Chains A and B, each alone.
Chain A
């Protein structure tokens, strides 16, 4: 049953102040959809959801397919249109997973608060690429592909390793500390309050213009993704880095290579360089390391950066 809509007024993506890591991950995931999604974990009030929604509106012109924590399994898997069914007219209603399959993205706000059985459903579909529904008189099987974008506050619990692995990239977000950025965040948020109530001296228009410009850049980067060369040596570097950080499974090196390639495409480079790999490595690997099942296990600090730099140096010597 389609509901009424009280139109939300969202902060345009190009007006989101700071949060470079979130933006980078979302943009790379758009340029290279094979990355498979982004998990954004961070402190409260750091504009995680705002940035994701703003990005979706910028790129797709509408809110992302959103799985809220209050979702029931009939809406996740698909069922019947309730009002019509009550009248004796059974009409199928696609579930959120099907919608995500059509639009390529499923956004889960507060992903760590999802009920376990919903997580199981998502894992089944995301890992097999097949949605099988046999319930309420429905017997269907569909092939689906979609990327997962999730936001969460780690204070309220962590994710299972299986679910963590379904996110191509992961970023850890902290509140901006630079006073100038914080002032800008403050004034932007207050201006948005007014814009939502019709007092807008051009903020939204400016934001939409900025969004259009950025969208064009990202679409161009996406179009040239496969024109960006990935040499065998770079592929070896990706594999070496993933192995050195003991990334579980085989998705780590593949995602790392894809993300590095997307970075190069985003920058307009002709080929992937070691700097692209080093830049993408924390996002691609931090949640695939051996201790990532624990909340504190996804840190990426000075030690990891030094190790990464050392790996690049060794790689250069080996050429």
Chain B
């Protein structure tokens, strides 16, 4: 068997945390930061093994509420309705819900998690069903630290247990997977020795021992280290500490268990990153960091993207990240790539709950089903997120329509005296409720070399607000950014909405030396044309805001080829004007130029604006455009 490797920030800490989640009923939501799919798969495998034989359900971006809560099977006798995968009945197995990417799970999935996690009772009232039950589940979700700002805080609060799984994978994992696919050599790939889940963990998870007592000293410690406005975190820390005590076989929760819980959750009485790792979890000799360091740990703001970097590295090594995983995740047997009982490394202090500091990049009321706002072609183009009664014959949801009609078949056939014909009434027709595709588009060309201390966000506010109000897609072109990969080339990205952290980041990139304005405008032209004219594009109205002083000093050819060969003399400006004229020909596109106060050559700005057919911000004359944008034109 290949060498078992566990590397990264908290590999071995994560198994122990997962073991606690398996044995503590209140720890039903575990969030793994920056977990590559392979790591999440291994973690899910371990949790499944510790839980016994749970039914595994994967939540993805595409599931509807009906997919999750109900089922409809076609039998020879007709349709047979039944409960969906998230519903539990008497005597059914525990559930293990795996969420490959919490930031991208669909709204129905998010709402389902709100319903099920940390809830003594769940209630289902759908399509004739009434069911109330006590959920018995664990949910293991992955999330990129950098994406935390996009997840509703109400949902994040349902995951009080945090860990990072960066590095929870190894070569042996890949090998065993390949061998498994080939159906060969299970013996050679089989786990052995250190890879097996410790028997005491399994005993603890199966409640083969009494619950450790939780005394007043432990309670006081927990209360002292968790802010009062975070009650779920307080309970999570206490349950985790009790779990650690159970894994250790202790009769009561001791201070070291509380400290271990606090440390692995990234808060509490621990020191900084240099805190020595505690001893093996099963030898009962965890180190005791000093109190001074503990307070430091509580108060310190999260280290920016420490976990994210590790996660990205791990994701890159694995070839993909959880953020891009759309397929249901395979739950792998854990033994191959997890070394139990090795040294632990906790979450860095203060990083367990990055949402406390993250910039909120989400809609207002993100857990509410969006209204059907679109009236144009976009209404029929987004991915389905639900169903509604149809008012016309466009975009019918056939299965839902048949299901609705199936309910009444016997009655209708009896009433009409027909047999063998499936009768559908207009009232049965169902149509897809679709996620709204952007009907509006905002293009931003940001010339970073013109900024020189100018706060351009003021000039952009109206258009950014317009983009938010209309849920517009965004095409951003960065020109002359100091951190650009190639300084002679502009860079472009497309965001689904203005609340994308890349848009925010673009607004404050550093200044570079070169100004490839012509290349930037050509990228904007191509990007806007693609968004407005390609395929089933639904954009009906677009704004382009060009923020520049028009001092382009890189010819288009140099930008395209990323070369400084040849001599230049004003080609950067003339190329930009030429491309501006092409941009001006795009239909349904309104353009505005925002120039810094007192540009060095106002005539160049005017010339560029003239070529673009654009209004001007900052040099007067475009107030009407701004007002129009600001009022949701």
Contacts and interface: CB of A to CB of B under 8 A. Distances in A.
A156 B365 contact: yes
B86 to A, nearest CB: 10
B235 A189 contact: yes
Nearest to B133: A6
A21 interface: no
Contacts of A89: 410
A66 B408 contact: no
A1 B128 contact: yes
Interface string A81-97: 11101111110010010
Given A45-B157, A190-B238, A193-B24, A156 B229 contact: no
A80 B411 CA distance: 12
A63 B88 CA distance: 18
A190 to B, nearest CB: 5
A196 B154 CA distance: 25
A175 B411 CA distance: 54
A86 B89 CA distance: 22
A110 B211 CA distance: 33
Interface of A: 1-11, 43-47, 49-50, 53, 63, 66-72, 74-76, 79-83, 85-90, 93, 96, 109-110, 112-113, 115-116, 135-137, 153, 155-157, 174-177, 179, 182-183, 185-187, 189-190, 193-194, 196-197, 199
B136 A115 contact: no
Given A115-B369, A187-B214, A50 B410 contact: no
Contacts of B132: 3, 5, 8, 63, 66
A136 B427 contact: yes
A8 B223 contact: no
22 contacts: A3-B83, A3-B124, A3-B130, A4-B131, A4-B133, A49-B119, A68-B115, A70-B126, A83-B81, A85-B411, A86-B80, A86-B81, A86-B410, A90-B411, A109-B123, A110-B114, A153-B154, A174-B229, A175-B230, A176-B231, A190-B239, A196-B120
Interface in B232-250: 232, 234-235, 238-239, 242
Nearest to B241: A190
Interface centre among A96, A135, A136, A174 (most CB of B within 10 A): A136
A194 B211 contact: yes
Contacts of A185: 231, 234
Contacts of B228: 175-177, 182
Given A71-B125, A182-B234, A112 B120 contact: no
A182 B127 CA distance: 42
Contacts of A7: 134
A24 B157 CA distance: 27
Kindly list the 7 A-B residue pairs having the minimum CB-CB distance in the complex, ordered from nearest: A88-B410, A157-B365, A82-B128, A3-B131, A45-B232, A45-B231, A75-B125
Contacts of A72: 125-127
B179 interface: no
A190 B365 contact: no
A175 B231 contact: yes
A8 B121 CA distance: 6
A79 B90 contact: no
Contacts of B224: 179
Contact of A80 (B153, B154, B230, B407): B407
Given A8-B132, A116-B371, A199-B211, A71 B238 contact: no
Contacts of A80: 128, 407
B411 A197 contact: no
Contacts of A82: 81, 127-129, 407
A113 B368 contact: yes
Given A8-B121, A197-B207, A69 B152 contact: no
B229 A175 contact: yes
A74 B152 CA distance: 29
A136 B408 CA distance: 9
Nearest to B387: A72
Contacts of A197: 25, 207
Nearest to A88: B410
Nearest to B235: A189
Interface residues of B, number: 75
Nearest to A153: B154
Contacts of A68: 115, 122-125
Nearest to A95: B125
Contacts of A8: 120-121, 132-134
A49 B128 CA distance: 25
A186 B223 contact: yes
Interface centre among A43, A47, A72, A135 (most CB of B within 10 A): A72
A9 B125 contact: no
A63 B121 contact: yes
B539 interface: no
B26 interface: yes
Given A69-B114, A157-B364, A44 B157 contact: yes
A111 to B, nearest CB: 11
Contacts of B222: 186
Contacts of B369: 115-116
Given A6-B89, A7-B134, A70 B115 contact: yes
Contacts of B406: 86
A112 B369 CA distance: 11
B11 to A, nearest CB: 28
Given A83-B81, A86-B79, A86-B81, A6 B88 contact: yes
B417 interface: no
Contacts of B239: 190, 193
A46 B233 CA distance: 12
Contacts of B409: 86, 88
B112 interface: yes
A239 to B, nearest CB: 36
Nearest to B366: A156
A128 to B, nearest CB: 22
Contacts of A85: 128, 407-408, 410-411
B219 interface: yes
Contacts of A43: 229, 231
A40 to B, nearest CB: 15
Interface centre among A2, A135, A157, A199 (most CB of B within 10 A): A157
A50 to B, nearest CB: 7
Interface string B343-378: 000000000000000000000111111010000000
A125 to B, nearest CB: 16
B411 A4 contact: no
Interface in B371-421: 371, 406-411, 413-414
B154 A155 contact: yes
Nearest to A180: B223
Interface string B190-217: 0000000000000000010011001010
A116 B127 CA distance: 18
A11 B115 CA distance: 18
A187 B368 CA distance: 34
B214 to A, nearest CB: 5
B69 interface: yes
A63 B231 CA distance: 24
Contacts of A193: 24-26, 239
A83 to B, nearest CB: 7
Given A69-B114, A74-B128, A86 B234 contact: no
